Amino acid sequence: MKRRLLLVSNSTLHGGGYLEHCQQQIKEFFGQQVKRILFIPYALHDHDAYAKTARDKLKSLGYDVDSVHETADPVQAVRRAEGIFIGGGNTFRLLKSLYDNNLVTEIRTRVLQDGVPYMGSSAGSNVATISINTTNDMPIVFPPTFSAIGLVPFNINPHYLDPDPHSRHMGETREQRITQFHEEPETPCVLGLREGSMLLVEGQKATLLGSTKARLFQRGKVTVDYEPGTDLSWLLTDAH
């Protein structure tokens, strides 16, 4: 399998600018072989403004950006792409637009068979997994299915937040919501990516990167925290 993925929890880290906290990983990921990146802005309503934000930042890192919403044929744009970046926003809106434009299968083929590098942040990381069932977003639109692109055999929860023992908020914690997800049968494990963390996947190897730990939730098992630098390649098998 040729897949190369950079799945980032968040686009902006407190105290920094857009993609600033992961810009070194982005440059190492896309390298010098990729000259142009296809940006998919479907997760936000204002595609033009979102594309400008991504274009300005990636241009500063040495990459030209084409936005899929600017082309008359999104499928052909994906087929020609040297690299793909799907940004964050509303996961339901993003997945619906990917299906509406017939891009789910196209992206899966380009990444898994052709080895086109795929970067996602937040919602863009959610749609790279089995399903969007562990997103934090509200279902403002209804995609035809919650099944996502399926580039990895597990789910992600971006922006994972630890329970605050001093909070007076009486709603469910993120951990409780993921536990509820695992109360249903045949649900995959969930990697909770705290802000500042990201997962690098190269073929059958997966490595946790960034400045914060990630928490892994498995149905019927105790949760485990992993430090940046941890080899999580075993998550890419079906054995877990």
**Catalytic residue positions, numbered:** 122, 137, 159
> Minimal CA–CA distance to 54: which of 67, 36, 44, 68?
67
Distance between CA 166 and CA 181 in Å, rounded?
A: 25
Facing residues of 229 across strands? Answer: none
Question: Could you count the other beta carbons within 10 Å of the beta carbon of residue 7?
Answer: 27
Report the phi/psi class of residue 164: left, alpha or beta, with left for phi > 0 and alpha for psi in -120 to 50. Answer: beta
DSSP conformational letter for 164: -
Q: Do the beta carbons of residue 67 and residue 39 sit within 8 Å?
A: yes
E strands along 62-144, which residues? 64-67, 84-86, 118-121
DSSP conformational letter for 178: H
Q: Do the beta carbons of residue 41 and residue 50 sit within 8 Å?
A: yes
Distance between CA 84 and CA 80 in Å, rounded?
A: 10
What's the length of the chain? 240
Question: Which class for 159: exposed (0-12), middle (13-18), buried (19 or more C-beta within 10 A)?
Answer: middle
